Amino acid sequence: MSIKRTVNERIDRARNSNDEKELLKLSRDPSINVKGALIYGFRSSLPYSVWESLCNNKDSRIIEEVSTSRRCPPELLDKMARNNHNREIKLNVAHNISTPISTLEYLSHDPDTQVINQLAWNDATPVSLLLQIYDKFGDNGRRGLAFREDMPKEIHIKLMNMKDEHITRALLKNPTLESDILYNFSIGKEVRTHHRRYIVKNPNTRIMTLINIYLHTKGKQLKKSIMERLNNIQDTNSRDINEEEQRMFIKFITEQLKKG
């Protein structure tokens, strides 16, 4: 005679058992918490059969949770993307870094703009694919591109020209944003104090940009931040300082010392 386990006991087994038959049985457990323990447990892996069973669950909430898991087998993520009409599942698969490239390419043809947008936020989406579908992205997708550190300059320029505040902020905080774009924005009409703060903190910001901001700002705290960067310029810039920047730096520091 088998002893019926409590939900908490079954959750514990879902987290710790290594028996595939037991895990398969737990994947069909009536409790959503037990199945959740399988999906989000601390174990390094689950047998394929268990993942497959979870994907075939009648409760769409379970399938949605499976589609978010990075441990879910890629072939099952592909199956969910192609055979499931649940929008939330498609969104999750498009955002999942374990999703195969072939599946991401398939999703790039989806008519739902929100699905397309999720591809921009997925670090596994190849840059080549993002460039191909750039015109399909909505505002949220372009914001995702602005945060990525693998975008080419041509995309940075397009995004900056959109003049969307959320995108602009993300770009200015992006450590891969090109130094000339940072400079050009710092002297433009759209620049505001909070923009200058982001530019000063960006590791790609060059000496001439820092000095220009210093000379055109009244904020004491921002000026202090700029001086701290300039005083430690060798440490904060990974690139060599060119001769023009050296002359500008020396001239600026000399003038500031004269002012006291």
Question: pLDDT by residue (tens digit) across 203-230?
Answer: 999 988 999 999 888 899 999 999 888 8
3-class SS of residue 73:
coil
One-letter amino acid identity for 133? Answer: I
Among 57, 72, 94, identify where a domain stops: 57
Residue 175 lies in a domain: yes
Task: Tell me: do 160 and 251 sit in the same domain.
Answer: yes
Residue 188 lies in a domain: yes
- pLDDT, residue 229, reads 86
Give the angle subtended at the CA of 142 by the CAs of 108 and 238, to the nearest 5°. 115
d(CA 223, CA 229): 10
- pLDDT, residue 201, reads 95
- pLDDT, residue 236, reads 46
Residue 218 lies in a domain: yes
DSSP characters over 207-235: HHHHHHHHHT---HHHHHHHHHHHHTHHH
Residue 163 region, left (φ>0) first, then alpha (ψ -120 to 50), else beta? Answer: left
d(CA 133, CA 155): 12
Residue 10: give the domain boundaries.
1-57
- pLDDT, residue 209, reads 93
Summarize pLDDT for 242-258 with one digit per residue, the tens: 767 767 766 776 777 66
Task: Tell me: do 48 and 152 sit in the same domain.
Answer: no
Among 14, 36, 57, identify where a domain stops: 57
Task: Tell me: do 142 and 252 sit in the same domain.
Answer: yes
d(CA 113, CA 140): 10
- pLDDT, residue 1, reads 39
Task: Tell me: do 43 and 150 sit in the same domain.
Answer: no
Residues of the chain with pLDDT under 70: 1-3, 233-241, 243, 246, 249-250, 253, 257-260
- Count the domains in the chain: 2
Residue pair 230/255 in contact (Cβ under 8 Å)? The answer is no
Residue pair 202/173 in contact (Cβ under 8 Å)? The answer is yes
